[in-house]
Each structure stands twice: as C-alpha cells, then as structure tokens.
Chain A
C-alpha cells in the first residue's frame, strides 16, 4: 500500500500476517455452516464454557467494579503507552533481559529467527501464543529449517492435523475425540496403536510425546498475557504446565508481546488475575500462572528476550472510535456468547482473531480498506451479548457499527469533493440508492413508479411472496422471503378516497380524519405486517 502525503496526519502502516481473511465472511460462513460436526461441537463448547463463566462470575460481589477497573486501567495504559513502553524497556533491561522492537510481522519473525540461530538450535518449544500465531512464526521458521513445536494440547492437535485454530482458548474445539485419536495415530511416531479415544488417554499420549522435548529443549518461545511497566515483569496464564515447562527449563526464552499488553503497575495484576480466568475458562483461577522479571540467576532461562510488536496496533490506536479494541485480554468470552460465532465457528473469520473481537480487531489492524477484511464488521447481529460478557467492557457492537460506516465511506464516497476515497466502479448499492434518490425527491416521479406496483405484485405469484430476488436484493431473500407489494399505493388510495368523500364540511372533517385514521391504522397494520416479517428475519439472525 502506498501512502500519499496530503498534509494531514498519516495513518500508521497496517499489520500483516494471519489477520486477513482470504475470502469474504458470508462465503466462508456459508461453507462452515454445512459442517454439522463443527456446529454440534461448537454448540456444546460455547454453551458449556458460557455456563461455567456465569457461575464463577456470580460468585464475586464486585464483578462489575472489577470490569470498570479493568477498563479504566486499559484506557490509562493506552493513553500513556509511549511512557509505559519506555519504562517497561528500562526495567526489563535493568534486570538482565533484552528488549527488541518489531514494526510488523516480518520484522518480528526475522528477530526471532536471528535469536534462535545464535543458540545453534534447530528445534524450539512453544507456549500457546496469539501474537506468534498472528505473525505466522511457525510457518516462517519451518520454511527456514527450524521446527517450532506447539506444546499446548489443543495447539498440538491443530499442528499435527495440519489445521488452523478455530477458537482462541480451545483451538481444537472443532475436532472430536475420535478425530483427535486418528491424528495422534497418524502423526505421533511413538504412540501405541491401541490408543483409545478417551480424553485422559489422549492427554497422556501428548504428555509422553512432549516430555522428552521439554526436558531437552534449548529455546522456548512464548507470548505474554501482561507486561508490567513498573517492574519489567512478564506473565503467562495457562493450565497444562506446558507453559511452566517452556518458561522454566530452556536456557533461552524469547517472548513476543503486542505493545498493547503493557500494564502500568504490578498492582494492576490484582484486577486482571480476577477478570481473565473467570472470563476465559470459567475457573476461579487457572491452574498455573508464571511471572518472570528479566533473568533470575540460577533459576530458569538465563538468556531472556522480549519482542515488542506493533503490526498494525498503532493503526488501531489512531482510530479513536476503535482503539478500545486494543484493551482485549484474549479471554474469548465474547466468542462463547456470540450467536454468529456459535454457528459459523472460528475459521469463517479467516483471522487468528475470530468471533466478535476478531470482527473488529482484524479490520482495525489491517485497515477496513483492506478488501479482504471489509466484510468482517457485518459478521454480527449487533445483539450486544459480547459487550455484556467482555471483562474490560469493550463496546464491540458500537465499534462494529463504526467500522461499517468506515467501510461504506471507503466504498461509496463520491469521487468528487474532499475525503472521497471510492474505489472502482459504482456498486449496485450506489445505483439503487441513486435511483431511490431520483424517485423519492419528486411526487410525480414516485406516482409514475407506483403505477408499476400491480405488475410487481403479479410477479410475486399466488402466495404473495418473493422467495428469490435478483442482484443485491438476493442477499435479503437468501435467508427470508420478501412480501409482495400492495396492489395500490397509500398515496393513490388516499387521493381516490378524498375524491369519493366530496368536499369537506363542518365536523365531517373530523369524521373524515377519524375515518382516515382508522383506515390509516389499517395501513399501519399493513406496515406492522411488514415489520413482523422483518422481525422474523431479525430473530432468524439472533437465534
């Protein structure tokens, strides 16, 4: 993408990597919806986690106060970001760590590769990390002869199955136990052929498979849930102990952290360590959390690095209506309550970040002008469930609407005049709206068009419904019928009625008005009928 200087503040560069859809959301969603196994698994998973979350959240009398605090701390962190990043760098460095900065995915990948090369290792162990997923680190390293081994059970299943994660917390949720057993049998050389599909047996097979890797690994790569500016501390929240293995046993530890993960004070952990586990896995506390600050002599990795990653985050930050998407702590609560995610699953979003947060975060990181992500803000019914569930109160529906506005502006803004950035030819929507504007701006033109109503009614057929409309309107009839238009417009009916009633006199006017109102009510009924139809459609979306 080229930037032309127009004398206004330039927009920071977009992010790259696994944050761009490869096809529009509706098409991807349509395909995923055909997978009955996926839908059954997702339905079960999202409802189970949702219920657990509600149970543990209701235990805390101050949950809403904690959400307010989480939101306020993140807002503060964003507004003080330059100062906090510098402070984090100073602290981390003073305690024996090395800080690197990466403008984008490619630069981060290069830095990681360089650090691994310095150790001479050709195999590294990895803790589940959204940031490294985002920058496509595994693929990058593999192309250069370095094997990056995912150690989280679900990530391992996804990696061995040559698949992609579909949920940020339970990435293999789209696979059932039998599928997982088949993957293990095919891909783990040391596994017994008698392996059953009992989850405990599968977990133990993974333990055995990874144990030797953990004990011999020289280099580990992780993400970070938090970085504390005040002390230079990094934190990883996990369940299985694979995180502890990676963060403790190897000599070299490389952490990739988005710049938005920095928190001002150590004390802020008291808020986020309550919000995150309860929102994420629905536990009072996750089994293991590790916090480390630079190097501790004689305990854990002695060669410790962190890479602070931009990759479009500053671009998101520059959007004042969208920047709170950067408050996200990657808990996945919004996915588990989303009626759209529940049906389409994570793959339909095409990005490392699926679900409601992905629908705003991905276009914010790449810019909504990026064609491939421009359909994501529409992947929502705007029901607001994600906002209610979000532990840091990101107003996802509001940002979705904002981004839809940006998208419309990018696509349909007039060519002339200031701020026009339309791309390509006028769309069907432009043509339709242009025609509507022509017709509705004059009563005569509208009257002329209304003469065509009986024809349209006849076209609808005997049941008075359109089940398939052409062109742009096909989007509407894809999932619901359109009612046939009435045989006569209200305006023409009113004109005829006035003529028949003759000249108004005395209180007859009132009668006439009342009659008119009664009839008008009938018309309203008609409209209400139409709206009921519309409501039906809304329900269809919101189920």
Chain B
C-alpha cells in the first residue's frame, strides 16, 4: 500500500475507532477549578457543528468611518515602529519623493506613474515577473516602493498580494527600506473584513511593522532580515 493510502486508511480507522469505543465520561475528571468546569468543550468529535453555529458569535464587521479607520491604522502601525504619514491623493507623489530622496530604488512595473515624481525617474529600476531583477542587484538597491492590496486597521496589518502595483515578493523583501502606499479605500476595520477582500490563492504577504525579533532575553529589536525601515503613506 502506498504511504498515502495507508495514512488515509489509518485516519479513517482512527476516527471510526473513536466513535465505536465505549464512552467513558472524562468530563468530570478534573474538578476544583471553576474555570475548568465552565470552559468545558461541548463539542464532541463525532458531531462537528455546522459552520453557521460558530460563524455568528465573533465579530465579522466593524462600524468605523474613514476617519476612524485611518486613525486606528496609524496608531497600530506606529505602535510597531512603522513611520506613517497621511496625505491627500494629490500630494502623494511629493510624499513618496521625500521618502526616496537620494536613494536608488526598485518599483513594480504596474505602479501608477502619476505617483512617481519625474525627479525620481533616473534612480528607479522597474521590475516585473517577465523581466525580474536578479537578487544580488536588488540587494544593492536602497529601497522599494509599492502599493498594497488591503490593510487591517485593528491589527496594523498591510497585505501585499502580488498585483502589478505591488510586484514580486522578492522586491518588497530584499531592499532595506520599504515605502508602501495604502490607498484609503483599501483599509478594512478588523481581520475578518480584511480576509473577505483577499484571494488567498495569490501569493500573500501580511506585514505588521518592520521585521522584528525578541529572541534575546525577549528584548525587541526592530529590523532583522526583512526591511529594517517601513514607511507607510496613507493616501486619502
């Protein structure tokens, strides 16, 4: 029997064995802790609930207006040491120029041309799936500028989905400085709202602040292997 068939057979047998064995009640075994008693799982493996049974209780919608969403997203991003700026759509090109001034940077081929100030043109390198920049060359560049697909205000999360204005995953990873544009209409309030807008079969990267580690005595160090600097520009 192939490993596949054998494992699937074992799983079926294990599940079958579980439901025919004598039912020894284990619920009453641990007593004395009220929290243990009140927290007891009601669900048994044999009777899994219909999705509708648990889809309702947790929040799937938030009621925040645009100001509320922007304010919350800024607060959460800054908490994780990202640098955030909110600008009007018309000021976007200027804001990006300020962040990338003097730097050599990569830009995905679908990045809106009106967001790139003409003065930056000679320091921009364009990347696409068809004409990818070699990783060594990416490493030699100072920065990257991309747009983003969705943001989640409550967790301070920005999602890239590989669309032409965000580019291949490598370009937003290797350069040390990421300038990321968040169009205000892409901001969702909470996690379920954010995921509802995403297609998970695209290559997704969820970013919440610059890379970080707490591996040495739990002291947080921002900036390890991913970009050490994250600039977010929210465009209204």
- Is A79 part of the binding interface, using a Cβ–Cβ cutoff of 8 Å? yes
Partner-binding segment picked from B44-52, B93-101, B142-150 = B44-52
Interface mask (B213-227 → A, CB under 8 Å = 1, otherwise 0): 111111101001111
- In contact, A215 and B136 (Cβ under 8 angstroms): yes
- In contact, A72 and B224 (Cβ under 8 angstroms): no
* Residues of chain A in range 95-136 having any CB-CB distance to chain B below 8 Å: 95, 100-103, 107
Residues of B within 8 A of A267 (CB): 195-196
Give Cα A71–Cα B39 distance, bound, in whole angstroms: 12
- In contact, B39 and A388 (Cβ under 8 angstroms): yes
Shortest CB-to-CB span from A272 to chain B, Å, is 10
Interface mask (B21-51 → A, CB under 8 Å = 1, otherwise 0): 1001011011001011001110111101101
- In contact, B26 and A402 (Cβ under 8 angstroms): yes
**Nearest CB to that of A176 among chain B residues?**
B217
Partner-binding segment picked from B5-13, B63-71, B84-92, B115-123 = B5-13
Give Cα A157–Cα B216 distance, bound, in whole angstroms: 9
Residues of A within 8 A of B169 (CB): 244, 247-248, 290, 299-300
Residues of B within 8 A of A103 (CB): 3, 6-7
- Is A335 part of the binding interface, using a Cβ–Cβ cutoff of 8 Å? no
- In contact, A323 and B45 (Cβ under 8 angstroms): yes
Query: Interface residue count for A (Cβ, 8 Å)?
Result: 117
Shortest CB-to-CB span from A107 to chain B, Å, is 6
**Nearest CB to that of B20 among chain A residues?**
A9
- In contact, B36 and A287 (Cβ under 8 angstroms): no
Interface mask (A38-56 → B, CB under 8 Å = 1, otherwise 0): 0001001100110000000
- In contact, B41 and A393 (Cβ under 8 angstroms): yes
- In contact, A71 and B41 (Cβ under 8 angstroms): yes
Q: Identify which of A107, A284, A315, A317 gathers the most chain B CB atoms within 10 Å of its CB.
A: A284
**Nearest CB to that of B193 among chain A residues?**
A270
- Is A81 part of the binding interface, using a Cβ–Cβ cutoff of 8 Å? yes
- In contact, A314 and B7 (Cβ under 8 angstroms): yes
B48 contact from A48, A79, A298, Cβ within 8 A: A79
Residues of B within 8 A of A318 (CB): 13-14, 17-18
Q: Identify which of A65, A232, A240, A281 gathers the most chain B CB atoms within 10 Å of its CB.
A: A240
Residues of B within 8 A of A506 (CB): none
Shortest CB-to-CB span from A91 to chain B, Å, is 9
- Is B126 part of the binding interface, using a Cβ–Cβ cutoff of 8 Å? no
Give Cα A199–Cα B215 distance, bound, in whole angstroms: 9
- Is A271 part of the binding interface, using a Cβ–Cβ cutoff of 8 Å? yes
Residues of B within 8 A of A433 (CB): none
Shortest CB-to-CB span from A487 to chain B, Å, is 33
Query: Interface residue count for B (Cβ, 8 Å)?
Result: 91
A157 contact from B15, B196, B215, Cβ within 8 A: B215
- In contact, B155 and A9 (Cβ under 8 angstroms): no
- In contact, A68 and B135 (Cβ under 8 angstroms): no
- Is A334 part of the binding interface, using a Cβ–Cβ cutoff of 8 Å? no
- In contact, A398 and B29 (Cβ under 8 angstroms): yes
Give Cα A62–Cα B211 distance, bound, in whole angstroms: 28
Residues of A within 8 A of B205 (CB): 244, 288-291
Shortest CB-to-CB span from A204 to chain B, Å, is 8
Residues of A within 8 A of B59 (CB): 61-62, 65
- In contact, A199 and B217 (Cβ under 8 angstroms): yes
- In contact, A101 and B3 (Cβ under 8 angstroms): yes
**Nearest CB to that of A260 among chain B residues?**
B11
Interface mask (A62-78 → B, CB under 8 Å = 1, otherwise 0): 10011011011101101
* Residues of chain A in range 216-246 having any CB-CB distance to chain B below 8 Å: 228, 231-233, 239-242, 244-245
Interface mask (A149-167 → B, CB under 8 Å = 1, otherwise 0): 0011110010000000000
Beyond A73-B54, A214-B225, A324-B41, whether A82 also contacts B212 by CB under 8 A is no
Give Cα A427–Cα B224 distance, bound, in whole angstroms: 55
Interface mask (A295-322 → B, CB under 8 Å = 1, otherwise 0): 0111110000000101000110111110
Beyond A203-B224, A241-B211, whether A321 also contacts B24 by CB under 8 A is yes
Shortest CB-to-CB span from B65 to chain A, Å, is 19
Give Cα A285–Cα B79 distance, bound, in whole angstroms: 11
Give Cα A383–Cα B43 distance, bound, in whole angstroms: 23
Residues of A within 8 A of B225 (CB): 151, 207, 210-211, 214, 240-242, 244-245
Give Cα A45–Cα B217 distance, bound, in whole angstroms: 7
Interface mask (A320-331 → B, CB under 8 Å = 1, otherwise 0): 110110000000
A314 contact from B14, B195, B207, B212, Cβ within 8 A: B14
- Is B76 part of the binding interface, using a Cβ–Cβ cutoff of 8 Å? yes
Shortest CB-to-CB span from A157 to chain B, Å, is 7
Give Cα A242–Cα B7 distance, bound, in whole angstroms: 32
- In contact, B30 and A285 (Cβ under 8 angstroms): no
Give Cα A210–Cα B226 distance, bound, in whole angstroms: 12
- In contact, B210 and A287 (Cβ under 8 angstroms): yes
Shortest CB-to-CB span from A54 to chain B, Å, is 14
**Nearest CB to that of B13 among chain A residues?**
A9
**Nearest CB to that of A79 among chain B residues?**
B48
Beyond A44-B218, A240-B224, A382-B30, whether A245 also contacts B173 by CB under 8 A is yes
- In contact, B224 and A388 (Cβ under 8 angstroms): no
Give Cα A125–Cα B4 distance, bound, in whole angstroms: 27
Residues of A within 8 A of B217 (CB): 41, 44-45, 176-177, 199
- In contact, B41 and A287 (Cβ under 8 angstroms): no
* Residues of chain B in range 138-191 having any CB-CB distance to chain A below 8 Å: 139, 152, 154-157, 162, 168-170, 173-174, 191
Give Cα A248–Cα B139 distance, bound, in whole angstroms: 14
- Is A186 part of the binding interface, using a Cβ–Cβ cutoff of 8 Å? no
Chain A to chain B: the 7 pairs with minimum beta-carbon distance, closest first: A241-B226, A298-B129, A65-B57, A320-B18, A241-B225, A318-B14, A241-B211
9 A-B interface contacts by CB (under 8 A):
A101-B3, A170-B218, A173-B218, A210-B225, A215-B135, A231-B201, A287-B212, A393-B39, A395-B30
Besides A10-B13, A79-B45, A233-B200, 19 more A-B contacts (Cβ < 8 Å) are A75-B44, A103-B3, A153-B216, A170-B218, A180-B216, A202-B216, A248-B169, A271-B58, A273-B195, A284-B154, A284-B156, A315-B14, A320-B21, A384-B36, A388-B39, A395-B30, A398-B26, A398-B27, A401-B30
